[in-house]
Structure 1
Amino acid sequence: MPEPAPIPMSATLAADEALARRRRAGERVLSMAAGEIGLPVLPVLRERLAAAAAENAYGPVAGSPALRTAVAGYWERRGLAVDPGLVVAGPGSKSLLFALLLAIGGDVVVPVPSWVSYAAQARLAGARPIPVPIRPGQGGVPDPDRLREAVVAARAAGQDPRVVVVTVPDNPTGTVASAGTVRRLADTARELDLVIVSDEIYGDLVYDTSEPAVSPALHAPERTVVTTGLTKNLALGGWRTGVARLPDSEPGRAPAGNALLSGFMGTHKKKWGGETAPEGGEFTPPKWFFKGFGDWVRLPGEALNVPARPVALIEEPEVALVYVNDADGTPHYAGYTFGNDLCDIGLHRQDPGYNPYCKLCDTALTPWLFLGPPPRTVTGRVTIVRDGATVWEGTFDCGDDALYYRVQDMADHLFTFPAVRRPGLVNYVLLGADEASFHDGFRIADGDRVAIDVKSHGVAFENQVRYVSPAPSATPAAAPAPAAAAAAPERVATV
């Protein structure tokens, strides 16, 4: 992915700051910059929000089942049938829009004129915005004929447009594209194999309801993402609540298992006498391991299950890089997070051939994505608590500067293998860990709580280790050996 370009301050935010300065100076101003209604919160809604204030536990990444079902009902009441499994919630529709551009990849077609953040987000994601004018009175939707011309020309020039962003109803023109224009846009996007990202956050604020806004998802459900939120129609901008409806197709319905968790071994400098790989030398890749699928990952606060009789467990605070494969299988780096790769190092040391078994322990990953390149410095502290008392503490260092290998070399080599370049696959790649409690002679026990404080990044999380006894085997015993006389069945001649 190209390097992100420097992005100036949003024109909307710059205008808001200028207006705030004038208000502080005593001037009376009317803001026509930010899309904020300025009305008080509805009393019944305020009560519901206040009642949920105590719900502070981590929830499902895509949103709670109740929320996703309610959002699907919202769209269904407006004529768009939606499976709750295709709904994703996030901290505002703006962040969801940006995440979509990162996940889909490629260059982005934006209508002219359009909300200032579309082009800025495309540039921030390392893509190039491709401006396409609207038709008169059809704001928010690029002219379908000019869209076709622009995409064909861009691809001939070596660009890679994959997304067209539309706004229905439109910001900033305040117009609503006709049903015919939206249908032609959907047909053109299908012809050009473009994903449609339809920003419909103003959908409930149409003045003339005789011609309601029509979503492109009605005409191209298999390639349309719809985003909305509570900011506009319910005046809840500060609550940052957004939702997205993913395409009603196989990529949109990708199971949680469509993610791969893996990592590298023996990468820390301490395992190489403090040295780093020589510059310019031939790259010899480190050992790699398969850790599990996406739905094997545990969140902070959840138990980390391990076999009931481990030899010797070790906690491993690590950086996890996140890559999202596009429809062609090309991996796109999205950012990084942190995790605890718990494993049975004692089993590995008994026999390195047992390493796949030793990795069959749960791993925790934090639910935050840090944007930007892999971190050079990551430092923190591990605390292990048993029966309410701290029984071991130690520091760790696991950033790029702490590794023997260069991160780019390791990642480039990993993605030479087709198995990790499957279309739509998300790869979580663990970079390698510092020495930990095991190397200090400590042994983790059932019920211990492992707390990891990544002080360099302000992230702290904790998980309890849980030994799990095996269930009785469901495999039947082998059949007894046949008697010698019956070993060779009688052959019957057929005509």
Structure 2
Amino acid sequence: MRLIQCQHQGQVRAALVESDQQVHLLDRDTWTLARRAIEAGRPLADIVEASLTETRLDYPTLIAERHLLPPLTHPDPAHCLVTGTGLTHLGSADTRSAMHAKAQVSEEEMTDSMRMFRLGLEGGKPDAGQPGAQPEWFYKGDGSCVVAPEADIPVPAFAQDAGEEPELAGLYVIADDGTPWRVGHAIGNEFSDHVTERFNYLWLAHSKLRACSFGPELLVGELPEHLEGTSRIVRNGETLWEKPFLTGEANMAHSLANLEHHHFKYAGFRRPGDVHVHFFGTATLSFADGIQTREGDRFEIELPTLGRPLRNPLALERQANEPQIRAL
């Protein structure tokens, strides 16, 4: 089962994807439906079936008119926390053996990033119910930094690079008793400034640029362990760069359960009613192949198991929005 969200008659509404051409409108937004499911102690799929209206919408029209929204949002964006984790993926098949070889160098030769990666290899998939190695973790922002599918991703004037990061994202709602409930998964573009990140890994937080996107569809139910996708950049109607990527637990150094544990172990991340969007990392970047993005380039990230591709054009901010700091 896959869901979208859209603007319909001035309201945020969820819809069940029936085909590439049609969606079936639901009576509420995804957040409300998830809370219904939690309160009723029933699977989200059951609540979706019980919440169908008589209205069906044309899917291509929603896309063309840019009425799509991220598939899970909170009515108050400040109550949506967007975070992620890195150094989680083993890489594509042709680089995996090389990564393992690098992990065998002496401790003195190893970079901090490779130490973190090796921790994941050795302890990122613990036995069920046991915590494993801590992953790298970062904060993106609240719900105001999330860009809708098909909408422009803004590039700050101070950015030195604006590159895609094709990822799997986990989507969660916190119950009234503080229990995190996984609503489902979506395609994500975590989006970063890789020039800044490469200069010094301590600038990782600065490199995140805040803006990101996920969707357009939310997969409800079991996620396959092996997922194959394609990441591409389209410029002036032609494919500038394209590369396959792998994700899912079978292609990761950490289990998803371990990544979830190390995020939600903090009480502050279990605030009742909140939405969490957590990016699970990537191993495929156009930046690694020397690509420099430009105004109007369109990112397209495709994971067929999760529905339609996530597409976002780049829009450059021409002038820095310098904050004016005043003293009281």
Query: Under a length normalisation based on structure 2, what TM-score does the superposition of the two structures give?
Result: 0.71
Q: Which residue of 2 aligns with 1:103?
A: 35
More relative contact order, 1 or 2 (CA 8 Å, 6+ apart): 2
Query: Structure 1 residues 347, 94: CA separation in 2 closer, same or farther (over 3 Å shift)?
Result: closer
Matched, 1:463 2:312: yes
Q: Which residue of 2 aligns with 1:368?
A: 217
Matched, 1:434 2:304: no
Query: Structure 1 residues 294, 98: CA separation in 2 closer, same or farther (over 3 Å shift)?
Result: closer
Could you tell me which runs of 5 or more consecutive residues in structure 2 were left unpaired when the two chains were aligned: 17-23, 59-73, 101-117
Q: Which residue of 1 aligns with 2:194?
A: 345
Total equivalences in the alignment: 273
Query: Structure 1 residues 453, 254: CA separation in 2 closer, same or farther (over 3 Å shift)?
Result: closer
Q: Which residue of 2 aligns with 1:8?
A: none
Query: Structure 1 residues 446, 393: CA separation in 2 closer, same or farther (over 3 Å shift)?
Result: same
Query: Structure 1 residues 106, 313: CA separation in 2 closer, same or farther (over 3 Å shift)?
Result: closer
Matched, 1:295 2:144: yes
| RMSD, aligned CA | 3.5
2:255 to 406, 415, 427: 406
Q: CA offsets, 1:30-75, max 9 Å, x none?
A: xxxxxxxxxxxxxxxxxxxxxxxxxxxxxx93533x344xxxxxxx
1:389 to 238, 249, 255: 238
Q: Which amino acid aligns with 2:76?
A: P
Q: CA offsets, 1:90-111, max 9 Å, x none?
A: 45577859975642455639xx
The structure with the larger Rg is: 1
User: Do 2:295 and 2:315's aligned partners in 1 also have CA atoms closer than 8 Å?
Assistant: yes
Q: Distance in 2 between matches of 1:464 and 1:94?
A: 29
Query: Structure 1 residues 381, 362: CA separation in 2 closer, same or farther (over 3 Å shift)?
Result: same
User: Do 2:156 and 2:320's aligned partners in 1 also have CA atoms closer than 8 Å?
Assistant: no
Q: CA offsets, 1:266-303, max 9 Å, x none?
A: 11113972584456587221111111212321122111
User: Do 1:380 and 1:455's aligned partners in 2 also have CA atoms closer than 8 Å?
Assistant: yes
- Secondary structure in 2 matching 1:382: strand
Q: Which residue of 1 aligns with 2:85?
A: 264
Distance apart, 1:254 and its partner CA: 4.2
Matched, 1:63 2:12: no
Could you tell me which runs of 5 or more consecutive residues in structure 1 were left unpaired when the two chains were aligned: 1-59, 69-86, 110-121, 128-164, 166-198, 200-226, 231-235, 242-252, 479-495
User: Do 2:15 and 2:26's aligned partners in 1 also have CA atoms closer than 8 Å?
Assistant: no
Percent of aligned pairs with the same amino acid: 26
Query: Under a length normalisation based on structure 1, what TM-score does the superposition of the two structures give?
Result: 0.49
User: Do 1:262 and 1:292's aligned partners in 2 also have CA atoms closer than 8 Å?
Assistant: yes
Distance apart, 1:373 and its partner CA: 3.2
Q: Distance in 1 between matches of 2:219 and 2:279?
A: 15
Q: Distance in 2 between matches of 1:412 and 1:98?
A: 24
Query: Structure 1 residues 477, 436: CA separation in 2 closer, same or farther (over 3 Å shift)?
Result: same
- Secondary structure in 2 matching 1:360: coil
My pick for the range that moved more, 335-344 or 292-301, is 292-301
Q: Which residue of 2 aligns with 1:417?
A: 266
Query: Structure 1 residues 345, 471: CA separation in 2 closer, same or farther (over 3 Å shift)?
Result: closer
Q: Which amino acid aligns with 2:242?
A: E
